[in-house]
Structure 1
Amino acid sequence: MFSPNERLSLAGQPDEIVFAILQGLPSIDLHKAKQVSSSFYRIINDQRFRKKMAQTILQQYFPRSRTNLKTTIKDQWPKEGDKHLPELLFLLLVGNNNLIKEKIKLADLYSKDINGLTLQDWACKLNNREILRFIYKKLIIPQYRSQDGKVLDLEQTDTLGFTLLHWAILCRQPLSYIKQLKNLGYRLTTTTLSGDTVLHLAAQANHSEALMWLLKKEELDVNAKRSNATTPLLLAAFYGHSEAIKLLLAHPKVNISATHDNSAHVLIIAAIKGHNEVIKLLLADERIDINAPCVDGHTALFLAAQNGHLTTVQLLLKDKRVNINARRTDGATALFAAVHKADTATAQILLADNRINVNAPYADGATALIFAVKAGHSEIVDCLLNRNASIMAEITTRTRYLLNLAEKHNNKAAVETFLKAEYQGQLPRMVSVNSLEVAIIARQNNITLRLLEKAKESPKAKIIRALELAQATANYRLIEPLQEILQHRNTERSHFQTNFTNNFFSVAGSEIASLTTQNLYSGPK
């Protein structure tokens, strides 16, 4: 966008205007912008702008990060030998190409970050053609020269089995140059050690020109698989390259149902990564099975919820074909995934859909509400209660679960006595065992008080019932507060609501952990 030889005059323009202009630029153009205007230079170096820029980069490239930009980038390469790579990534993100050229080495191109991306992949992601040209000409070509440095060795490969042609495609070199390499004798059918074909590499780099040309070659298989069964289509979905996806979907022989070796298909991969533009293209294709599961029954919706991709969840829910209640092999639905992650926003989106079964049971009969209560996710508990959520799916399972829960807290006899006295012979016909009773039995006292605040019908009766159960289970810490609430309910209700809301959900983590189902969310491998 900017040339260092150009000068831009913004004299007299308010800082707010300059700030707004810079905010609209891609982060990789900021370094060049500093060189064309003194106003740009001053604002870009301002601490407030740098903080805003860091937030923008985080939102765009690391949407799931819960830390600052410096820590996030540092965490991308945890290995000791890669400690210098976060700096190079930061320079890429802000477009400081001159400094990158000084620092980057050939060995740096072979290290992958925690998401499986190399610096070359990041350069493609950022569309930094200048750095891609530099990598290819200054770092790649020299290793394929003969000893006198004059002739290209057509048979030579690097440690990964890449030929010079492979690297030319990966670094997005012009199609005319790639054709020249082919004419020199480089074979299009040569694969890397991991089974990458030229189609895989073109899809990985989102090299649309090269991909379009290669897809016309009869000797190339559009569904060729790497060693882990990944096809070019799956690879394009992994990297989020929508242009490559368009070209591959248009090929008459493409297998849209192809799966990775963990049974993940193209929509699953895009959902895990949160690549929404790719997902839009896939959902528009009538061949896609939106509910097709991968290992352990994970669907695209479940994995989008599990990975916190709110926009992806919304996209999938807009499709009438999606099964919002699809269950994993252990019974967990997308709602369970949101509850487990304490992701209130995703839970709200799911609960707002009329198709959802809010009381869909887990394998042991527990519903999403029981997990939210036990984990102390107060906002999600509120959302679930507003949708009339129940604790257990079936009465026989409810009863067994309550007694097992009570036994863990050494008060099984007291609970059995209470249940017999309360329900007598009508226990099998009970409509529900509510969340309040489970919270009391589990000695989640702060949760109990919060649930009482939510009572809409006969609040006094609920308090009396809670007090009786607290007494039956010898929950002495809860008895006195309940007696006070009962005594002052009518005259000082608002006072007690405020008092007992403070420090809500302060139950020790070890107590909560003892109540939760072990290994509920193992996730796809």
Structure 2
Amino acid sequence: MFAIVAVPAFAHDPAGPTQAAAAGAHAQANPHAATQSDHGHAAPTTHAATAIDSSTLASQDLSRYLFDAARAGDVDVIKSLLARGVQVDARDERGSTALILAAYYGKNDAVRTLLEAGASPNLGDSARGNTALMGALFKGEIESARRLLADPRTDVNARNAAGQTAAMFAALFGRADLVEALAARQADFALTDASGATAEALARTQGNAALADRLAVLSRGRGG
């Protein structure tokens, strides 16, 4: 039985957006779209909907729909909201950005869209400081992690509140297929977390000897 040492936690709601929230996101991002009556027929856009589309509505009122769209991977809504002035790095009530949510839920196209729109890959959530890359590694969303690693702005040695790096997440959760990608981005495998553990040590606590041995080589700078 293997011990889990300082396993990171995430505060995201695993349920994701409700259908109503998703519908609201479409309505807010596309205010000229017709609404549906109780009988399923298209109803004309109301004056109230037109008012929502006016410049009197502050962009922060639409931010919540950006988070729903990120969870759902709805690229069209994301683009519409950003075009209307919603800040790409806005934070939800738990301190997560849309990019953190998209990576956590494995919405690869949303990750790409947000990065192209200028979202910072290095912001951590307010609760624990976990970045989008850490979230992707935690969940095993390999393609999202690769997209983040392909962005030259991504700091692979960024730390969360516990002093953990992306390499440590890879070690804890057995993401051996991403260790070489981290090495290619000059990840420092010799760093220690707040408890003094290296990525190698964390892999050994999980009983992953093969990964730990590889991390030991990388931490000594002998990546070949």
Unaligned runs of 5+ in 1: 1-112, 125-164, 189-212, 391-525
Match of 1:376 in 2: 207
Of the three residues 332, 352, 368, the one matched with 2:164 is 332
Cα contact 1:270–1:279 (8 A) shared by 2: yes
Match of 1:54 in 2: none
Change in Cα spacing, 1:319 to 1:214, as seen in structure 2 (3 Å) is farther
Change in Cα spacing, 1:116 to 1:234, as seen in structure 2 (3 Å) is closer
Match of 2:64 in 1: 231
Q: Partners of 1:362 and 1:317 in 2: how far apart?
A: 21
Deviation, 1:116, is 3.3
Match of 1:363 in 2: 194
Q: Are positions 1:268 and 2:100 aligned together? A: yes
Change in Cα spacing, 1:389 to 1:307, as seen in structure 2 (3 Å) is farther
Of the three residues 295, 311, 315, the one matched with 2:143 is 311
Alignment map for 1:65-84 (pairs within 5 Å): none
Deviation, 1:370, is 1.2
Q: Are positions 1:242 and 2:142 aligned together? A: no
- What SS does structure 1 have at the residue aligned with 2:160? coil
Deviation, 1:214, is 8.1
Q: Give the counterpart letter for 1:274 in structure 2.
A: G
Deviation, 1:182, is 4.1
Cα contact 2:164–2:192 (8 A) shared by 1: yes
Change in Cα spacing, 1:354 to 1:169, as seen in structure 2 (3 Å) is closer
- What SS does structure 2 have at the residue aligned with 1:224? helix
Deviation, 1:328, is 1.0
- What SS does structure 2 have at the residue aligned with 1:387? helix
Match of 1:292 in 2: 123
Q: Partners of 2:154 and 2:17 in 1: how far apart?
A: 31
Judging by fraction of residues, say which structure has more helix: 1
Match of 1:175 in 2: 33
Q: Partners of 1:262 and 1:388 in 2: how far apart?
A: 34
TM-align CA RMSD = 3.2
Q: What TM-score does the superposition give when structure 1 sets the normalisation length?
A: 0.34
Match of 2:176 in 1: 344
| Paired residue total | 199
Q: Which has the larger radius of gyration?
A: 1
Q: Deviation per CA, 1:139-171, whole angstroms, max 9, x where unpaired?
A: xxxxxxxxxxxxxxxxxxxxxxxxxx97x959x
Unaligned runs of 5+ in 2: 1-12, 37-41
Q: Deviation per CA, 1:2-48, whole angstroms, max 9, x where unpaired?
A: xxxxxxxxxxxxxxxxxxxxxxxxxxxxxxxxxxxxxxxxxxxxxxx
Cα contact 1:301–1:316 (8 A) shared by 2: yes
Percent identity between the two aligned chains: 26
Q: Partners of 2:163 and 2:210 in 1: how far apart?
A: 23
Change in Cα spacing, 1:331 to 1:248, as seen in structure 2 (3 Å) is same
Cα contact 2:88–2:117 (8 A) shared by 1: no
Q: Deviation per CA, 1:456-502, whole angstroms, max 9, x where unpaired?
A: xxxxxxxxxxxxxxxxxxxxxxxxxxxxxxxxxxxxxxxxxxxxxxx
Of the three residues 218, 226, 239, the one matched with 2:55 is 218
- What SS does structure 1 have at the residue aligned with 2:133? helix
Q: Partners of 2:146 and 2:122 in 1: how far apart?
A: 15
Deviation, 1:248, is 1.4
Match of 2:90 in 1: 258
Alignment map for 1:43-442 (pairs within 5 Å): 115-116=15-16, 118=18, 120=19, 175-177=33-35, 180-183=43-46, 187-188=48-49, 216-224=53-61, 231-251=64-84, 253-286=85-118, 288-294=119-125, 295-351=127-183, 353-389=184-220
Q: Give the counterpart letter for 2:54 in structure 1.
A: K
Q: Give the counterpart letter for 1:308 in structure 2.
A: G
Q: What TM-score does the superposition give when structure 2 sets the normalisation length?
A: 0.75
Q: Partners of 1:307 and 1:176 in 2: how far apart?
A: 37
Q: Give the counterpart letter for 2:71 in structure 1.
A: F
Q: Partners of 1:177 and 1:332 in 2: how far apart?
A: 47
Change in Cα spacing, 1:180 to 1:374, as seen in structure 2 (3 Å) is closer
Q: Partners of 2:14 and 2:81 in 1: how far apart?
A: 27
- What SS does structure 2 have at the residue aligned with 1:232? helix
Q: Partners of 1:374 and 1:256 in 2: how far apart?
A: 38
Q: Partners of 2:96 and 2:72 in 1: how far apart?
A: 15
Match of 2:7 in 1: none
Between the two structures, name the one with larger relative contact order (CA 8 Å, sep ≥ 6).
2
Q: Partners of 1:116 and 1:234 in 2: how far apart?
A: 10
Cα contact 2:203–2:209 (8 A) shared by 1: yes
Deviation, 1:301, is 1.2
- What SS does structure 2 have at the residue aligned with 1:231? helix
Q: Partners of 2:211 and 2:123 in 1: how far apart?
A: 28
